[in-house]
Structure 1
């Protein structure tokens, strides 16, 4: 089996995400996450530059699309990071 099909469930990656739902006066925060989909445990997607919109402001941050199709929201990632003391 090619190594690209293997998933290291202990891999961790650091990403920049919005620090809150409302970007007013906020900057991205940096969190380190276990690089596995919280729904199915498969790998999270490759990190790419992204723009988050709060309805009136834009914030440059990181984004990814999970190959499994499960959605990672920034709100859920903030909770995950707090829960695992990764903030």
Structure 2
């Protein structure tokens, strides 16, 4: 029986992230992710409100810091969604190649 939220390998969480690196149109995408670090399988961190800044525009979104120290970049999350490891509610289709 799981002793905390991270002991459950089926734990998934929904977050809002920038839809592209350059915040064109100030758009967010909502994705549901397995709540494990893709590098080591440990838990992802707690979700907090954040501001993403692309050099000219600010965009309110979600962020987290993995306790293991591995970084989850928004570009990596977009790629994770595109290859099917995560899901993008609403039928959003993302490119298979994300150079951001």
Instruction: Say yes or no: TM over 0.5.
Output: yes
Q: How many residues align?
A: 86
**Larger RCO: 1 or 2 (CA < 8 Å, sep 6+):** 1
Q: Provide the alpha-carbon RMSD of the alignment.
A: 1.7
Q: Which contiguous aligned blocks of 4+ residues in structure 1 show a shift greater than 3 angstroms?
A: none
Greater shift after overlay, 44-53 or 2-11?
2-11
CA distance in 2, matches of 1:20, 1:4: 33
SS in 1 for 2:24: coil
Greater shift after overlay, 4-13 or 64-73?
4-13
Give 1:81 deviation, angstroms.
1.1
TM score, norm. by length of structure 2: 0.79
TM score, norm. by length of structure 1: 0.91
Name stretches of at least 5 consecutive residues in structure 2 with no aligned partner: 89-100
- 1:62 matched to 2:70: no
